[in-house]
Structure 1
Amino acid sequence: MKRTHGKYELQIHARPMQPVRDFKVDVHIHEEAGISFIDVKGGLSTKPLANAITKTHADKQAWVYFYPTVYQQKMCDSCGDQGMNGDLVIVYDVNRDNGLGHIKKSDGYFVHHFAPSDLPRIRKNVIFVIDQSGSMYGRKIEQTRIALVHILNDLAEDDHFGLITFDDRISYWKRKLVQANSKNLESAKNFARNIQDRGSTDINEAVLQGARMLNEHNREGSASILILLTDGDPTSGVTNLEKIQSNVRQAIAGKFPLYCLGFGFDVNFNFLEKMSLQNNGVARRIYEDSDADLQLKGFYEEVATPLLTDVTMIYVGGTNLTQTNFSHYYNGSEIVVAGEITDNNIETFTPQVVAISSNRRIIFSNPNETVESTGTVSDDHIQRVWAYLTVKQLLEKELQLSGPEKEKVKKEAMELSLKYSFVTPLTSMVVTKPPGENTDVLHKPKEGETSQRWPSPGGQPNLAHLTPASGYSGQWVLSADYGIAYVLENPDYLEPVDAPIDATDAPLLHRFLLNSTGNQTVPLCFDISGAIILKLFHHPSRDL
C-alpha cells in the first residue's frame, strides 16, 4: 500500500445493487512496526451505517467489521431500494521513528520503509503550467480555477511561485518567480479566476518556459517543482511527441521533477507518463468528475512539503536492489526499497541513507540496530514485495526505452510477473490452452487503440449472438469457445447467426457490465478456484 498524506488508505467498494440479507466485511491489519492510529471513513461510515461498524486496535493488529442489516442498507445516505452504493475507507498509519526507518527481512530478502517526519521543511519554488485550450471548456476550466485558488492559499510565505497558462500562445502571470506574500498571492488568485479556455495546445513551449523560469531562479537550500496540467494532445508548435520529450529533458537536465496531471480521458496519458518519468516525476490522471478540483488539490498536497532532496539509499551487503535514488522526499509520503541480502548474511548488511536537508548534508544510520525478522508472516512475503517493486519499476523503465533494450526490459518484467503471479499490463489475461492446440494470446488493449483480433485456435470463434427483440437487453454477449470466456460490451446490433463471425467485428474487451436501466458500471471480478462454475448469463431457448 502506498502512503500519502501521512496514512495508508484501504478503499472497499460496496455496491451490491440490492439489499443483502447477510452482508459482511472483515478486515484484519497486521503491522510489525505497530499501528499508531486507525479510522473508518467514506460514504458508508455515516449514520445509520456507522452503527454497523466495529473497530478494534491493539498494538500491532487492528480489526474492522462491517455488518449492516437489511434495514441499515436501505436507510443510509447513499442507499435506497437498490441497497448500498458507496465506499468504506479504512485509513491508518504505523509507529515511526525519525531515523533510519523500519527494515524487515525474511528468507534472504529485505524491505526498508523510510519516512522521517521530524525534519524542517524545505522552501520550494513551484511553477504551475495550466492548459487553457478550447478543450478545457466548461467544468474542466472551472474546476481548475477553483483548485488553483485553494492551492495558492496553501503556499508558505517563504515559497516562490509562478503561473503560466497556454493554448497556442503563452500567457504569464509574471515573467519570473516571486515570493508567496499576501500581495502576490491575491494578484495570482485574480489571475487564476480569470483563466479562460481558447485556442489550440502548445505543450512544448509552455513546459520549456516553465523550466526556463525555474532554471533562472537559483535559490540555495530550496527545492524546485514543475507541475503541468493538460487535457489533450499537442496541436500547436512542436507536435512530435518524442521531440517534445527530448526538448523537455534537455531543458530540465535532471535539476527538478516534472509532474504531469492528465485531465479527463482524451489526454494522451502515455505521453505524459513517459515525460514525467524521464524527469524524476510522476503522472497522475485527474478524473473528470464532480470532485476534480479536490483531486488537483490532493495531488498538490502530496508534494507541498519537501523535507529532503537528492536522497540516496545505500545497502552494504545488499544486491538486486530496487530504486535507490530519489530526487525528493515529501512529508506524509514514504520511500520503500527492497533487495536481497548477499549470501543471507545479516552480519555484513549495513543500511544507510544520505540526503540534503535544506542546504546541509544529512546521514541516517543506526549501526547498532538489528534488522527485524518477520516470523509472523509467510516466508515469501518480503520476497514478493521485492518482486512487486522490481516489476513496477521495470514497467516504468520499459515505457522510456525503445528497440532491443525495451524488449529486454519487457521480457524481464513479464518473467517476474509470471513467476510471482502478478497481474500487470503484460500478464492481464489467463488463457487455458486445450491439449495439442496452438493458442494466440490477446494483449491488453492500450489507450486509444482500436480493437485487436481475438485469439482463434484453429479458426474464428463461433460467437453466440442474441437479439434485442428476444426480451434480453441486448447490451452484452458472452462467448465461451475453446475454454476462453469474453465479455463483449455494447455490440451495435445483435442477431442469431449460425456461421462463424469474423473476429475483427468484435468490440473491445471490457471487464465491466453495463446496467441498461440505471447506467451504472459494475466491476466484473471473480476469484475462481477448483471446479467452481459461475452462471453469469442464462437464456434457455437459445441454450446459452
Structure 2
Amino acid sequence: MLPHALLLLCLLLASASTSPVRRDTVTSTGKVKDLDIYSFHIKSTVSSRYAMTVITSRVANRANESREVLFHVELPKNAFISKFSMTMDGQVYNGVVKKKEEAQTQYHQAVSRGQSAGLVSAVGRTLEQFQTSVTVAAHSKVTFELTYEELLKRRLGQYQLLIKARPTQIVKDFKIEVRVNEQQGIRFLQTQGSLIADERASAINSTVSEKEALVQFSPSKEQQQCSSCMEAGLNGDLIIIYDVNRAQSKGDIQVSQGYFVHYFAPTDLPRIPKNVVFIIDQSGSMHGQKIEQTREALLTIFKEIPEEDHFGLITFDHQVIPWKDHLLPATSDNLLAARDFVRSIRDRGSTDINSALLEGVQMLNRFRESHPQKGTASILILLTDGDPTSGVIDLRKIQANVKEAIGRKYTLYCLGFGFDVNYEFLEKMALENEGVARRIYSDSDAALQLRGFYEEVATPLLLDVQLNYTGVSNLTQTRFAQYYNGSEIVVCGQVTDNNLEGFTAEVKANTKREEVVFRTAVEEKGMSEMLTLYIFEMYIQRLWAYLTVQQQLEKTLLLTGDEHARMKEQALALALKYSFVTPLTSMVVTKPAGEEQVSHKPKEGEDPANKGFQTMRHGSGVMLGHGSGVMLVHGYPGGYPASPMRPPVFHQLPGIGLDHLDQDSAYDMDYDMGPATRPSHGPGPRPSHGPAPRPTHGPATRPSHGHVDAPTHMPTQVVPKHQSVRFLLPGSNPPCYDLNVEGDPIFVLLEDAGVSITAQVKGAGFSTIAIHLGQDRHMMVNTTDISLGTDLYSWSQLPDSVQYHSVLVHGYGRELKVTLGGIIFHTVLYQQDGDHFLWPDINQSLPGSNVTGLMGRLHTQYNLTQTAAPSTDLTILGQVVTASRASAVDYRLFSMPTVDCWLFQYQSVLQGELSDFKVHKL
C-alpha cells in the first residue's frame, strides 16, 4: 500500500499442536496429549515505528513414542519474515530463502517423492499464516523461533500493535513483551484487549518514560484458566496504542550509518474542503447483508460530512443511477435527502463498473468547471463486490478508460466487498490514479469497516505534497496526492558519501489557501541514544529496504515489458539481500529427516484451487491435500477457505542455538522429561533466577593490574589453528578489514579513560570478553555465563536490568548491553557450525583521540573516491589506501545480514600492528 494508506497492524499468534493425521492424540479440550508447550514468548521491539518481533515456542514430547508437532503463527500481511529456525537435539534447522522459481523446483521434487511439501497460508483481514511441522522423538524437545519485521503506519492519529495469543494450552512460561522507543518522545501509550480483562489485569505491567515504554504481560498458570477456555488456555488479544510528540511541522529526520528516514506529519493546518463522489454497486451479487451494511455505512457517513464539503452519489448495476447529476454542498437538508435516497437502494441486475466510474469523473469535471477555485480535494470512492458483467467487461480497457478520464486530476479509492471481487483489478486501478484499494470483509462489522475507511480520508490537510532532498540517492516515494489528518508520510533514502553537510530537506505542498514550504537542515544528533538497542543500529537501513521493496512490488503492478522485468529484478535482489520473505521469493525449510517444505507469501484474494491443491472443508479449518501429505490449516476470520502462501525471501543464515541462550532457557535446563532424562541435580524446585554463587576460582584469578586469566575450561589446541575475523566500519557502503590470527589470542578491544575491554578470539568472533573499570571492578562475559564482580548469572538468568556500581547492564535474551558513561558496549551470542561465539560492538558518544584498541576507532571518519568500481581509494586517518569489493556478515545485527563492503588493510585504521594490541591475560 502507499504510505498514506494506513492499516491496522496486527502481531501474531504462535501455537504448537499435533498433526491432524494423529487425531487420537487430541483431548476434548483441544490440548495435545503428551505434548507440552512449556514456554511461549512473543517479544516485539519497536524503534521509531519500525518493529521487529520474535516468537519463540518450546515444546516437549513427553510420550514414549515420536510425535508430530505443528508450529502455527499468524503475522501481519504487510510484514516480511526475516528468520525462521527449528532446534532439536542441539541441531539448528534454518529456513532458507530462494527465488520463487528455485523453491518451486524443490517443492515439486518433494511432491514427487510423496512428501508433504507445501506450507499453506490463509489470508485474513490483517493476518497471514505461517506453519510448519516436525517429528519429535520420545522424551525430546523442539524450539521454534520466527522473526518478522514491519513498519507501523499511523492511522487516525495513532499507531496500533495488536498481539493475538492462543497457545492452545496453559503454558508454564508465558510472556509477551513489547518495547517502544521513539526519539520524538511518546505522547501517550495505552493498553487494552481481552487478554488483560478481569482477573488478568494484574498480569500486565506498563512503564512509560519520555522516549521509552515497556509493556509486559506474564499471566500465571491460574490466570490462564477461564470458564470458557479451560485447559485450552488463553485466546485473546493485547493492543498497544500510542502516538509521538510532533513539535515541528517540518517533521522528524533521523540519520544513521548513511541512511535517513523522514517522518512528516504536520499539525495545526486548516482542513481542506473535499469534493467526493460515492459510486456504489447495487448489482444482484450485493444481495442481502452486503447491501444492508452498505446502506448502514452510508447513512452514518451522510450524518458526518462537514458543511464546507460537496458530495455526489451514484448507484449502478447494468445502469448508472446518479442521485443528482451534480455535486451538492453538504448542508443538513441535502444530507437528509441523500439519506432518504440511500434507504431506497435495492440490489438488482448486472455490473457496469466502467460506465459508473466514467460518470463519476464527469460529475467532478462539471463541478470543477463551475467551481474553479483551488484548495479543494476531489476524490472518488468505488464500492463493488464483483467483476464487470455489463458494458465494457475487459479489465485492461476499463483501467485505461478510467486512467485517461481522471488524468491525475482526482484520486480514486477502490473498496472490494468480500472475496468474490477481483482485488488485483481494483488495486491496479487505484494505484494508477494515486489511490489505494482496500478489501471490506463480509462480516458483521462491514459497515464499521466502511465508515473507518472514510474517516481516514475525511480530513485532507495538504494537497500535491512533494518532498525534495539534496545530497541523497535511492529515495523511496516522494510525491503524494494528499496528506490526511492523523496519517503520516514516510520517506527513506541514502545520504551521499554519508555527508550531512550537503543534506537538506524541503517539503512543498498546497493548503486550503496557499502553497507552503517546509525547510530544514539535517544534523546527525541523538545517535548515541538511537544505538542503545540492537534494532537501532541498522534499523533505518532496514526500514529503507523494507519500504523500497514494498513500493517496487506495487510498481510491478503498473509496469509492463522490460520496465516490469527490471523493477521485479530490483525488488528481488533487495529482498534477498535483506532476507525478506516477499511475493518474489520462497522460504525452504529442511526438516531433520531431509524433508523439505516451501513457504509462499500469500497474495490478497489468492484461490487455493488455482494452485493445484485439493480442498475440502473440515470443521473450523480446511484440510489441504497434495500427494500423500495432508495438513490442517485453520481458516481465516469469516470461515473462508485457506489459500497457499505466495513466495517469501530468506538468506541462508548461520544457525543460532536456542536450547540455552535466551531468557526462558532455564526452563529447558530443568524441564522434567521423565526418569530417563531427568537432570543430574535430581528433583526439586526450579533454580533461582537471581545471582548464583560464583565458582571458586581463587584470588589468583584476579590480578591486581585488572586483567583476568583466560578461563581454564577452554580447550587447549595442540596445533594452532588459523582464524579470520572481519570487522565493519559504520556506513551504508562500509569499509571492512580482516584480522588473520593463529590460535586463540587475546586482544584489547578498547582502552579509554579507565575503561579496558579485552577479548579472546574464537571462530568468527570471540569466546570470552572482559570489561575492567579501574583496578577493582570487573565484568566477564563468555558463551555460558556473565559475571558482575562476585555475582554470576547464566545468559538465561540475567535480569532485564542490573546495576553494577556505575554500570547499567541490560539483558535481551541472547543480547547484552552495557552502558559505561559515554560508552555503550553491546554483544550478541551466536551459534555457528555447532560452536558458540560472541560478537561485540562498541559505540562512543564522545570518542577521544586517546582511544585505542581493535574497536576503538571503528567510528573513524573516512572517504571513498568512488563506489561503483571493483576497487577504490579509501582515505582514513590521513592515509590513502586501496580498497577492493568484498562482503561480510554483519554480526552487529541480530538478523546477521550479508552486506557489501570495501576491504582494506587494517594497519591504517588501527595505526599499528596486531602485536601492539595483543595481551596475555583477559
Same fold (TM over 0.5): yes
1:93 maps to 243
**Of 268, 271, 277, which residue of structure 1 is paired with 2:425?**
271
**Of 205, 214, 219, which residue of structure 2 is paired with 1:54?**
205
1:259 maps to 413
Higher mean alpha-carbon deviation, 246-255 vs 403-412, is at 403-412
Seen in structure 2, the aligned counterparts of structure 1 residues 407 and 433 have a Cα distance that, compared at 3 Å, is farther
- Between the aligned partners of 1:506 and 1:197, the Cα distance in structure 2 is 44
Scaled by the length of structure 1, the TM-score of the pair is 0.82
Seen in structure 2, the aligned counterparts of structure 1 residues 81 and 522 have a Cα distance that, compared at 3 Å, is farther
User: What RMSD over aligned residues (CA atoms) do the two structures have, in Å?
Assistant: 3.3
**Of 333, 339, 344, which residue of structure 1 is paired with 2:487?**
333
**Of 361, 376, 393, which residue of structure 2 is paired with 1:222?**
376
Which amino acid in structure 2 is aligned with residue 162 of structure 1? Answer: G
2:471 maps to 317
Is 1:386 the counterpart of 2:544? The answer is: yes
Which amino acid in structure 2 is aligned with residue 67 of structure 1? Answer: S
**Of 166, 173, 191, which residue of structure 2 is paired with 1:40?**
191
Cα shift at 1:355? 0.3
Cα shift at 1:233? 0.7
- SS of the residue corresponding to residue 237 of structure 1 reads coil
How many positions carry a matched residue from both structures? 485
Is 1:163 the counterpart of 2:296? The answer is: no
- SS of the residue corresponding to residue 425 of structure 1 reads coil
8 Å Cα contact 1:98/1:118 also seen in 2: no
- Between the aligned partners of 1:169 and 1:81, the Cα distance in structure 2 is 56
Seen in structure 2, the aligned counterparts of structure 1 residues 43 and 397 have a Cα distance that, compared at 3 Å, is same
- Between the aligned partners of 1:194 and 1:158, the Cα distance in structure 2 is 26
Which amino acid in structure 2 is aligned with residue 278 of structure 1? Answer: E
- Between the aligned partners of 2:398 and 2:328, the Cα distance in structure 1 is 27
| Structure whose residues are more often strand by fraction | 2
Cα shift at 1:155? 0.7
1:28 maps to 179
**Of 513, 519, 524, which residue of structure 2 is paired with 1:359?**
513
Q: Deviations over 1:420-467 (max 9, x none)?
A: 011111124336699xxxx9988667524744469xxxxxxxxxxxxx
2:168 maps to 17
- Between the aligned partners of 2:278 and 2:216, the Cα distance in structure 1 is 43
Which amino acid in structure 2 is aligned with residue 301 of structure 1? Answer: E
Q: Percent identity?
A: 54
Aligned ranges for residues 114-193 of structure 1 at < 5 Å? 114-193=264-343
Seen in structure 2, the aligned counterparts of structure 1 residues 307 and 71 have a Cα distance that, compared at 3 Å, is same
Seen in structure 2, the aligned counterparts of structure 1 residues 532 and 60 have a Cα distance that, compared at 3 Å, is closer
1:107 maps to 257
**Of 620, 623, 627, which residue of structure 2 is paired with 1:490?**
623
**Of 392, 397, 412, which residue of structure 2 is paired with 1:238?**
392
- SS of the residue corresponding to residue 462 of structure 2 reads strand
8 Å Cα contact 1:105/1:372 also seen in 2: no
- Between the aligned partners of 1:342 and 1:280, the Cα distance in structure 2 is 29
Scaled by the length of structure 2, the TM-score of the pair is 0.49
**Of 326, 342, 359, which residue of structure 1 is paired with 2:496?**
342
8 Å Cα contact 2:306/2:330 also seen in 1: yes
Which amino acid in structure 1 is aligned with residue 334 of structure 2? Answer: N
Structure 2 residue runs without a partner (length 5+): 1-151, 660-922
Aligned ranges for residues 474-485 of structure 1 at < 5 Å? none
1:398 maps to 556
Which amino acid in structure 2 is aligned with residue 55 of structure 1? Answer: S
Structure 1 residue runs without a partner (length 5+): 455-467, 477-487, 493-500, 534-544
- Between the aligned partners of 1:422 and 1:368, the Cα distance in structure 2 is 30
- Between the aligned partners of 1:90 and 1:442, the Cα distance in structure 2 is 29
Cα shift at 1:151? 1.3
8 Å Cα contact 1:451/1:506 also seen in 2: no
2:769 maps to none
2:577 maps to 419
Which amino acid in structure 1 is aligned with residue 169 of structure 2? Answer: Q
Is 1:375 the counterpart of 2:531? The answer is: yes
Seen in structure 2, the aligned counterparts of structure 1 residues 207 and 197 have a Cα distance that, compared at 3 Å, is same
Seen in structure 2, the aligned counterparts of structure 1 residues 432 and 48 have a Cα distance that, compared at 3 Å, is closer
Seen in structure 2, the aligned counterparts of structure 1 residues 256 and 371 have a Cα distance that, compared at 3 Å, is farther
Which amino acid in structure 2 is aligned with residue 226 of structure 1? Answer: L
Which amino acid in structure 2 is aligned with residue 41 of structure 1? Answer: Q
1:288 maps to 442
Q: Deviations over 1:51-85 (max 9, x none)?
A: 32221100110011112334433448x85663322
8 Å Cα contact 2:295/2:343 also seen in 1: yes
Which amino acid in structure 1 is aligned with residue 571 of structure 2? Answer: A
8 Å Cα contact 1:103/1:372 also seen in 2: no
Instruction: Say which one has the larger Rg.
Output: 2
- Between the aligned partners of 2:640 and 2:171, the Cα distance in structure 1 is 19
2:40 maps to none
1:201 maps to 351
Seen in structure 2, the aligned counterparts of structure 1 residues 402 and 305 have a Cα distance that, compared at 3 Å, is same
- Between the aligned partners of 1:295 and 1:272, the Cα distance in structure 2 is 17
